Amino acid sequence: MTETWDTIADWYAERVRTGSAMHEFARDALLDGLPADLHGQRILDLGCGEGLITRALAMRGGSVVGIDPSPRMIGHARAAEEATPSGARYAVDDGGSLATVATGSVEWVTAGLSLNNVPDLTAAVSAVRRVLVPGGHLVFTVPHPCFEAPRARWSGGADELPGRVVGNYLAEGFWRSANPDGARRAGNQHRMLSTYVTSLIEHGFVIGRLAEPAPDARVLTEQPLRAGLPPFLVISGLRS
């Protein structure tokens, strides 16, 4: 069976909710780029999945809508909202168009590990620019493209530091992980770091922050090989 985000939605929701150190680390890396108090701020969470980041933004006081093209992910997000209301709202929509989101309607767009799933980055950044007010912010995370390139693997014997072998960083495009326990079995768009940054600049964003947070103790307990390598890239851009 060829997996999609919709077919792995139940697995993904279960994984996130039973406490995934990597997902919580990625969430917190993104949230670090936003104010602690979001009262009065309208936020779009692009590619919200089952709502991990959307709920956290609502708990900070933001007026948040999460969108995702997977109806099953949105079903999980709505079920969580019903069980424990945070004020977050959800819609099925595609990050490449944001058809359900009005022009100039939000101060913030967040995108946690989702822009690397959108096939057309130019369309997505253009849609993000459209929905943001002038002076609004885009904050997003992607798996670090330099270390999570297609078919990257671990190296290192007993007497060496573990490292990441990346052979085809320059080859952008869709790829699917062969790992049956990995989210990227649903597919992933590999892009160079410069492609993300250039796309923001070309769409009139001023880059405010570029971060490569070091894996924390919880992540290293689960995945000790990751010591010394940042799993995610965080980028913030200000819409001119």
Ligand X SMILES: C[S@@+](CC[C@H](N)C(=O)[O-])C[C@H]1O[C@@H](n2cnc3c(N)ncnc32)[C@H](O)[C@@H]1O
Residues in region 158-217 near ligand X by CB under 6 A? 183
Residue 109 within binding range of ligand X, rule CB under 6 A = no
Residue number with CB closer to ligand X (70 or 199): 70
| Interface residue with ligand X, options 41, 70, 177, 199 (CB under 6 A) | 70
Quick one: tokens of 34?
A: 């936003």
Of residues 205, 201, 231, 206, the one with CA closest to residue 216: 231
Residue number with CB closer to ligand X (94 or 148): 94
Which stretches of the chain are assigned E, i.e. beta strand?
42-46, 63-68, 89-92, 106-112, 132-143, 153-155, 163-165, 173-175, 188-190, 205-211, 232-239
Minimum Å distance from CB 158 to ligand X? 33
Minimum Å distance from CB 160 to ligand X? 31
Residue 68 within binding range of ligand X, rule CB under 6 A = yes
Residue number with CB closer to ligand X (5 or 90): 5
Report the alpha-carbon distance of residue 110 to residue 48 in Å, rounded.
9
Residue 114 within binding range of ligand X, rule CB under 6 A = yes
Report the alpha-carbon distance of residue 115 to residue 235 in Å, rounded.
11
Residue 23 within binding range of ligand X, rule CB under 6 A = yes
Quick one: tokens of 35?
A: 């104010």
The owner of tokens 């103790």 is: 217
Q: Are residues 47 and 59 in contact, defined by beta-carbon separation less than 8 angstroms?
A: no
Minimum Å distance from CB 127 to ligand X? 9
Q: Residue 1: is it exposed, middle or buried by C-beta count within 10 angstroms (0-12/13-18/19+)?
A: exposed
Residue 46 within binding range of ligand X, rule CB under 6 A = yes
| Interface residue with ligand X, options 34, 58, 73, 88 (CB under 6 A) | 73
User: Site mask, ligand X, residues 116-145, x = CB under 6 A?
Assistant: -xx---------------------------
Residue 52 within binding range of ligand X, rule CB under 6 A = yes
| Interface residue with ligand X, options 13, 38, 44, 48 (CB under 6 A) | 48
**With the CA atoms of 174, 176, 177 and 179 taken in that order, what torsion angle do they form, in degrees rounded to the nearest 10?**
170
Minimum Å distance from CB 70 to ligand X? 4
Quick one: tokens of 187?
A: 């597919």
- The residue number whose beta carbon is nearest to ligand X equals 49
Under the rule (CB under 6 A), what is the footprint of ligand X?
5, 16, 23, 27, 46-49, 52-53, 68-70, 73, 94-96, 112-114, 117-118, 183
